Amino acid sequence: MNYSKPLFPFLFGCLLLACSSNLFNIGWINGCIQLLLFGAVVFYPIWKTEKLSFVDIGWPWGLVCIGITTIALSPGFSWRIWGVGLMYIFMGGRMGFGAIQLWRKGYLQQELPRYRYQRLRWERHGKTNTQLAMQVDAMVQGLANATFLSFPAFIMGTNPSSSFSLVELGGLLLWIAAFVFESIADQQKLAFLRKMKKEQQRNKVCTVGLWGYSRHPNYFAEWMVWNALILMALPSWLSLQESEHVLVWGLLGLGLLFVSYLMYMSLVHLTGAKPAEYYSLQKRPDYKAYTEKVNIFFPGFPKSK
């Protein structure tokens, strides 16, 4: 059984960074930082506890490390560097502090549902060495931080231009709008759960607000956050054309697009919507009818039967 197959795209990302004259140094340093971080808070705890949930600590704090590394080492225009660096720090920090709270309350010592679902996926593919499968999955997350997820920040950090294009400003507005969208969805879900608890009702389906147009509006918003970063990075990628080998330059552009695909697959199929719905269909009687009316990911008007 080929346990290492999920690593291949990210090993190619490492090779691409090694071939880039602009990103080699910062990519190598970020890779070392991610290795140390994941070794301490992900790989070792997984080995000791056999719980994959510790990835939820390493991944967001890895984004914080990307932001700090961008600010500290990028040679481009300082306002752009600080801007994208702080974006990564904010993105990772808000999830990272939440993960620490879950750990302090003991939730990460149990396996979160999305990682229980991953065990079912391993069984379907005949993967019987659970410890190895967990370490490979954790390594995929660490290599994602070391490669493709760092591309928008590091590419923007190379841009020396002191002027901002309309594409960059549009990306910034989209990034803000996506976070507002996600915050509204989270608050609507939290208010719904509090109401159900007060009324002593269990296993009800949240259909209020944005949840009536998408079954996972928070995941959709998170995907749009990354699309906004990709959009912001495009002008900086274009400016790299003169200083990079044409093949490396083209592959870096494809790497930016791969970030969108990678986050979509993760948020819908791997650790997001599909695993959550597997358990919701089991414990919420009205959830099947909900899936027949409301889109799983992209917001849209409810379908009439």
Instruction: Indicate whether 50 pLDDT > 70.
Output: yes
Classify residue 123 by burial, with Cβ atoms within 10 Å: 0-12, 13-18, 19+.
Answer: exposed
Structural domain total, the chain:
1
- For residue 305, pLDDT over 70 is answered with no
Lowest mean pLDDT among 46-55, 81-90, 150-159, 219-228: 46-55
Domain membership of residue 59 (yes or no) is yes
Confidence of residue 48 (pLDDT cuts 50, 70, 90): very high
Task: Show the domain range for 37.
Answer: 5-293
| pLDDT confidence tier of residue 303, bands split at 50, 70 and 90 | confident
Q: Summarize the confidence of residues 47-67 as an average pLDDT.
A: 96
Q: Which residues contact 208 (CB under 8 A, 6 or more apart)?
A: 188, 191, 192
What percentage of the chain reaches a pLDDT higher than 90? 92
- Tell me how far apart the alpha carbons of residues 90 and 266 are, in angstroms, rounded to a whole number: 20
* 278 has pLDDT over 70: yes
Instruction: Tell me what pLDDT residue 109 has.
Output: 80
Amino acid at 29: I
Q: Tell me if 303 is assigned to some domain.
A: no
Banded model confidence at residue 107, pLDDT cuts 50, 70, 90: confident
**Long-range contacts at 14-20 (CB < 8 A, ≥ 24 apart):** 14/143, 14/146, 14/147, 16/147, 16/248, 16/251, 16/252, 16/255, 17/147, 19/245, 19/248, 20/244, 20/248, 20/252
Phi/psi region, residue 215 (left: phi>0; alpha: psi -120 to 50; beta: rest), is alpha
Residue 305 identity: K
pLDDT value of residue 106 = 85
Q: Does 299 fall in a domain?
A: no
**Token pair for residue 92?**
């990772």
- Degrees (nearest 5) of the Cα angle 221, 30, 147? 55
CA 105 to chain centre: 23
30, part of any domain = yes
Portion of the chain with pLDDT greater than 70, in percent:
99
Q: Map tokens 């607000």 to a residue.
A: 209
pTM: 0.95
Helices (H), 202-286: 217-239, 246-265, 273-283
In a domain, 253, yes or no: yes
- Per-residue tokens: 189: 């879900």
Q: Report the candidate in 48, 39, 18 with the shortest Cα–Cα distance to residue 109.
A: 48
Q: Is residue 160 part of a domain?
A: yes
Amino acid identity, position 204: K
Q: What is the pLDDT of residue 85?
A: 98
Q: What is the mean pLDDT of the chain?
A: 95
Look at residue 54 and tell me whether its pLDDT is greater than 70: yes
What's residue 1's pLDDT?
Answer: 57
Q: Cα(20)–Cα(27) distance, rounded to whole angstroms?
A: 9
Sign of the torsion angle spanned by Cα atoms 297, 298, 301, 304: negative
203 phi-psi bin (left φ>0, alpha ψ -120 to 50, beta other): left
CB-CB contact of 153 with 17 (8 Å): no
The dihedral through the CA atoms of 77, 143, 249, 259 has a sign that is: negative
Q: What is the pLDDT of residue 89?
A: 98
pLDDT digits (tens, 9 = 90+) for 189-248: 999 999 999 999 999 999 999 999 999 999 999 999 999 999 999 999 999 999 999 999
Q: Is residue 301 part of a domain?
A: no
Q: What is the pLDDT of residue 213?
A: 97
At 6, which helix (H) or strand (E)? none
Q: Measuring CA to CA, how many Å separate 261 from each of 145, 164, 214, 230?
A: 15, 26, 19, 11
